[in-house]
Structures are given as structure tokens and as C-alpha cells.
């Protein structure tokens, strides 16, 4: 049973229902509206991003649905990103953040998790200067300010 999704820039995407329902937001919308042919509008997601999101959902359409566990300590989660996902996430930063925001809006938890983990991996192990270069951030600290901040938080550096 196909479902039509309309992006921010009015592009229509037709996908199978089970693929679309990897998004809890869409799943709930379908349940509320009932069986209908009218397309589901997603005014917060551009077509480029929606295309990627759909690609993810199609690849993972048969994954078991993750059970929300309140007591789940995220730090205990397994930390490996599978290979397909890694290749999928090898996009420019702007797209990466847009995918994350779309996954948050559409409520696709596995995609959100993978996106966040990818961003964290980019940050890990880098010095402030390296982080700035990676994310194209202007350094708005004076050297004295930065030195001060370093001294303030140095106690937390070793682990």
C-alpha cells in the first residue's frame, strides 16, 4: 500500500507504507487520517533531505522496532555504526545536520541516533582549533579568554 509524502519544496515521494511508518510521526498521522490517498505534507523537510531519509528507511525497513526503555543508559549502548550507515552518513555537514533535524522531527529514532553518533565521532579527539576548522566556526575568543577557559576546566581533562 503506497503512501505519498510531499516535501517543503512541493516534491512528491511515493513509498510503501511500512517504509513510511519507520517515522513515528507519519505512522501516527496515517492512523489519525485513516486509509486515504491524499499525500502527507512535510513542510519542515526539503526534498534533498527527504530523499536521504527515505533511502535510510527503505534500507532498514525490516529492522525490528526498537522498544523505548526509560531505564536505558545511552552510554551502555553498543557503539558501532554498521558499514552501510557509515557510508550513508558520509555527507557534507550541512546535510548531516539536516538529516538529524529531519529524523528528530519525523521521529525516526535509529536514524537520529546514528546521526548524533556520527557528529560525536567527528568531534571526539579534536582540539578546539581542529573543531573550528571542521565546522567552519569563527573563533570569537581572545587568546586570554581562551586560556582562562582552559584553566577553568583543566581538571576535567584527564580520564
Under rule CB under 8 A, residue 158 binds other proteins:
yes
Piece in contact with other proteins (CB under 8 A), picked from 13-21, 30-38, 57-65, 73-81:
73-81
Under rule CB under 8 A, residue 80 binds other proteins:
no
Applying CB under 8 A, among 23, 65, 104, 110 the residue interacting with other proteins is 104
Contact 134, 126 (CB under 8 A): yes
The pattern of x and - marking residues 120 through 149 that bind other proteins according to CB under 8 A reads xx-xxxxxx--xx--xxxxxxx----x-xx
Under rule CB under 8 A, residue 51 binds other proteins:
no
| Nearest alpha carbon to residue 42 among 87, 108, 96, 94 | 108
Binding residues for other proteins, rule: CB under 8 A, are 8, 44-46, 49, 74-75, 79, 93-94, 97-98, 100-102, 104-105, 112-113, 116-117, 119-121, 123-128, 131-132, 135-141, 146, 148-159
Amino acid at each position: 500500500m503506497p503512501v505519498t509524502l510531499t516535501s517543503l519544496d512541493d516534491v512528491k515521494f511515493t513509498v510503501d507504507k511500512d517504509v513510511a511508518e519507520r517515522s513515528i510521526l507519519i505512522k501516527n498521522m496515517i492512523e489519525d487520517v485513516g486509509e486515504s490517498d491524499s499525500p502527507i505534507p512535510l513542510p519542515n523537510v526539503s526534498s534533498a533531505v527527504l530523499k536521504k531519509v527515505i533511502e535510510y528507511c527503505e534500507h532498514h525497513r525490516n529492522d525490528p522496532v526498537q522498544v523505548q526503555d526509560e531505564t536505558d543508559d545511552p552510554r551502555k549502548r553498543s557503539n558501532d555504526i554498521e558499514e552501510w550507515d557509515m557510508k550513508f552518513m558520509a555527507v557534507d555537514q550541512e546535510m548531516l545536520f539536516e538529516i538529524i533535524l529531519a529524523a528528530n522531527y519525523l521521529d525516526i529514532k535509529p536514524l537520529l541516533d546514528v546521526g548524533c553518533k556520527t557528529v560525536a565521532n567527528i568531534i571526539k579527539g579534536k582540539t578546539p582549533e581542529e573543531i573550528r576548522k571542521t565546522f567552519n566556526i569563527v573563533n570569537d575568543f581572545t587568546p586570554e579568554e581562551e586560556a582562562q577557559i582552559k584553566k577553568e576546566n583543566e581538571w576535567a581533562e584527564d580520564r
